Structure 1
Amino acid sequence: MDSSRRDAGSQAVSGSIKTRRVLSLSTLFPNAAQPRFGIFVAKSLEALQRDTHWEAVVVNPIGVPPIAFGRYKPIAQAAQDGRDFGLAVHRPTFRLIPRVGGRLNPGVIARSVIPLARRLHAEQPFDLVDAQFFYPDGPAAMQVAKALGLPFSVKARGADVHYWGARNYGRAALLETAQQAGGVLAVCEALADDMATLGMERSKVTVHYTGLDHDLFRPLDHVGLRGRVASSFDIPIARSDTLLLTVGALIERKGQALVIKAMGGVPNARLLLVGRGDDRASLAKLARECGVADRVHFLGSLDPTSLPPLYSAADAMVLPSASEGLANAWIESLACGTPLVITDAGGAREVMRSADAGVIATRSVRGIAEGIRQVTGRPRPTADVARTVAAFSWEANGASLAAYYDSLV
């Protein structure tokens, strides 16, 4: 597209002259009610905006039921436009039917977004429409792009493909979206292969690894660190404890139940669970039934700035997922010098290229317990562990995203 379409037009933002514009549609994006929701999307687009010639405008559709009560009330109140992470963010709402509206969501989102997209495009044209999550964002972005007469791209992150691809209507929507898209992204090679197995054209899929804030996620001095964690969260951590950390939504797929059950085979283990989700009550009940409730601690959802001390204080980060793309928690933990006990899910083998990174364990209670013993029985220099993810950065992520976008316009 001719860059002369930009009015006074090319603008300097953080030293980068903007000659291209992308309308990025993402139901995954932080808001006032969910400040960590889709933080990785925000960081990627922030780097694209800050460091490259692409200007990103975010449309973050927020689903609100006909009657917004309970947990939906603050989400509805968060549907406010603003400027976050250096990005213009628009938050239109769409009618959400919880639990049963999955089939309808792409069309409902598109109808909500298209009038806004047309107005923004008329004010200053876009070159590309982008979806940051494959479903429902991808099929919705396809409709938005058609309305604007633009090419579009879609990104797969793991659960979006594995979950929706297992449903006939979801699989059909994914395959149509991939076929119509100018390009498709995946967070790891393993996910790209899964997408090909589903029926997508493998040669059309570009792998785009996540980024990392090395200033935030780095090894911290262990002297007194456990004491500070114990004090901050009111947890009795003894010097002899094997401190385990699990970071992820409290849902069955992430496997926290396996870690709790495995603690019987690691008598001095203490487990810190970061995250929230529907399995919170059942996991607490399981801990009581296993006789380890006094050694299992639920910390809830935490701000990213609270995570490095936890990662650095832990002996291992344990996450026995049934499926993944490429978990940000893997990369963050390694950057803080803490090895992993994870299962052979998603891009695990693309991260675990060195014994310094930890072990890939069998997804069973015995396998997880053995993996914990292997990792904690062989302490690794934190600098060696951190070096395993030295190549990950948001700067590299933003630059590769810009190059990929360039190939589509």
Structure 2
Amino acid sequence: MSGFASDAMTRGLTEHASSRPIRTLLFSTLYPSSARPNHGIFVETRLRELLKSGQVETRVVAPVPWFPSRSARFGDWAKMASTPAFEERNGLQVWHPRYALPPKVGMNVAPWTLAWGARATVAKLIRDGFDFDLIDAHYYYPDGVAAAMLSRWFNKPFVVTARGTDLNLIPQHPWPRKLIAQTAGAASGSIGVCAALMDELYKLGAEREKLHVMRNGVDLERFVPLEKEAMRQKLALPQGTVLLSVGHLIARKGHDIAIDAVARLPQATLVIIGEGEERTRLQQQVARLGIAARVRFTGAIPNTHLASWYSAADALILASSREGWANVLLESMACGTPVVASRIWGTPEVVQSDVAGRLVDARNGAAFAQAIKALLEAAPQREAVRRYAEGFAWGQTTEAQIALFRDVLSHTNAGHVR
């Protein structure tokens, strides 16, 4: 075939690809389900905003570890077992194939079991007419590594979005670190929700030109300022200072630091929203400090109901040791409530103004208590906090994703994958 004919074919393929929506397969274990509606909701949110453009068509494959029992005594494992094999969420078709996650060796074998568990589902999607253009994977390990295998099996390009612990914690283990580096080399592009994550991937050997920062936005329609006193009455919250700490009850979220800080603020009440393995230990800490009357555990609350809690509070505390891009920070700000957060990873990219809140260098109760006092004394206006959050709408990220996807497909149609 002559060079002219080849160029003409390439132009034809590219024009055809750009004349219809890009077809993506979103692949991730981090995706909500009817059994776990808050699990990975940040992935669903970004996809929902992307689909509003009308330029992308998507199916979701969100594998779930296999577990034999739905008995409530097994906690999250039972919820995984209860996850349907297929469901529709917000108008999207979502498949939940199972994969094996054996004890002790699960971390090392997960990419293979994950890819093999999803392979039949992906093949059926293609047979049934959804011959997607590329794989849009979320979370680098094991999901991104498994996506690289699916990419080879089905001859599709893929991109991976890094979200936090997949790059700021898991690479501490040698074998996953090696596979992450290999996957970054094979991917057509890597997306980080903050620059700090892409810097980390670069240190692992990734090519700088294939690294893209696309921050999360905030749903400015779901998270809006509501009248503070009305929300306090609705939620049976006391007068005085009300602080929130929102997130899974796990060690790295730093709820224990928030508790210690509130113990040093006699007029403050702390509301801890979330569920997890640390709940008993945190409750014991509260009892030991003698502040049970000033600390309330709500359990998990649907994301759609959080605006009332943010609006009722004077500040949000996020004392995490590791975060990629903490969505709770922007959700709180969008409701007019400033934040006090650890100066780690992507958080300084979110909190760039004293209007938005305060960053804390030392992760201890004394430092957080001091920062909370300083924030409350400054008393940023709720309207100003909301305006700051409005600078984080989703439009720019949506446009950047579409541009990256089209660039990947133009190189694929030209006969090679970046």
Q: Using structure 2 for the length normalisation, give the TM-score.
A: 0.89
Do 1:222 and 1:313's aligned partners in 2 also have CA atoms closer than 8 Å? yes
Identity fraction in percent = 34
- CA deviations over 1:101-160 (Å, ceiling 9, x no partner): 111111001111122212222323211112111111001000001011111111100111
Corresponding letter in the other structure for 2:382: T
After superposition, residues 360-375 of structure 1 pair within 5 angstroms as: 360-362=359-361, 363-375=363-375
The Cα shift of 1:224 comes to 2.6
The Cα shift of 1:315 comes to 0.8
Residue 52 of structure 2 aligns to a residue whose secondary structure is helix
Do 1:48 and 1:56's aligned partners in 2 also have CA atoms closer than 8 Å? no
- CA deviations over 1:248-272 (Å, ceiling 9, x no partner): 1111111111111122221111100
Where does residue 130 of structure 1 map in the other structure? 136
Match of 1:205 among 205, 211, 224: 211
Where does residue 166 of structure 1 map in the other structure? 172
- 2:101 & 2:67 partners in 1: Cα distance? 5
- 1:227 & 1:101 partners in 2: Cα distance? 47
The Cα shift of 1:18 comes to 4.0
Match of 2:228 among 216, 222, 226: 222
Where does residue 389 of structure 1 map in the other structure? 389
Where does residue 74 of structure 1 map in the other structure? 79
Do 2:338 and 2:385's aligned partners in 1 also have CA atoms closer than 8 Å? yes
Where does residue 4 of structure 2 map in the other structure? none
Where does residue 328 of structure 1 map in the other structure? 327
- Go from structure 1 to structure 2 and tell me whether the alpha carbon gap of 1:52 and 1:99 turns closer, same or farther (over 3 Å shift): farther
Match of 1:48 among 50, 65, 69: 50
After superposition, residues 272-287 of structure 1 pair within 5 angstroms as: 272-287=271-286
- 1:217 & 1:98 partners in 2: Cα distance? 40
The Cα shift of 1:229 comes to 1.6
Do 1:273 and 1:298's aligned partners in 2 also have CA atoms closer than 8 Å? yes
More divergent stretch after superposition (175-184 vs 353-362): 353-362
Task: Please say if 1:253 is aligned against 2:249.
Answer: no
- CA deviations over 1:309-346 (Å, ceiling 9, x no partner): 11111111001111110100011011111111001112
- CA deviations over 1:183-228 (Å, ceiling 9, x no partner): 0000011222222233333332101111221111111122432111
The Cα shift of 1:98 comes to 4.7
The unaligned stretches of length 5 or more in structure 2 are 1-9, 410-418
Task: Please say if 1:146 is aligned against 2:152.
Answer: yes
- Go from structure 1 to structure 2 and tell me whether the alpha carbon gap of 1:94 and 1:208 turns closer, same or farther (over 3 Å shift): same
- 1:135 & 1:264 partners in 2: Cα distance? 38
- 2:388 & 2:257 partners in 1: Cα distance? 26
Residue 136 of structure 2 aligns to a residue whose secondary structure is strand
Corresponding letter in the other structure for 2:211: V
Do 2:67 and 2:80's aligned partners in 1 also have CA atoms closer than 8 Å? no
The unaligned stretches of length 5 or more in structure 1 are 11-16
Do 1:219 and 1:386's aligned partners in 2 also have CA atoms closer than 8 Å? yes
The Cα shift of 1:286 comes to 0.7
More divergent stretch after superposition (39-48 vs 54-63): 39-48
Aligned length: 393
- Go from structure 1 to structure 2 and tell me whether the alpha carbon gap of 1:199 and 1:364 turns closer, same or farther (over 3 Å shift): farther
Residue 233 of structure 2 aligns to a residue whose secondary structure is helix
- Go from structure 1 to structure 2 and tell me whether the alpha carbon gap of 1:318 and 1:92 turns closer, same or farther (over 3 Å shift): same
More divergent stretch after superposition (310-319 vs 387-396): 387-396
Task: Please say if 1:115 is aligned against 2:120.
Answer: yes
Where does residue 348 of structure 1 map in the other structure? 347
Q: Which has the higher helix share?
A: 2
Do 2:64 and 2:97's aligned partners in 1 also have CA atoms closer than 8 Å? yes
Task: Please say if 1:194 is aligned against 2:200.
Answer: yes
Corresponding letter in the other structure for 2:173: R
Where does residue 296 of structure 1 map in the other structure? 295
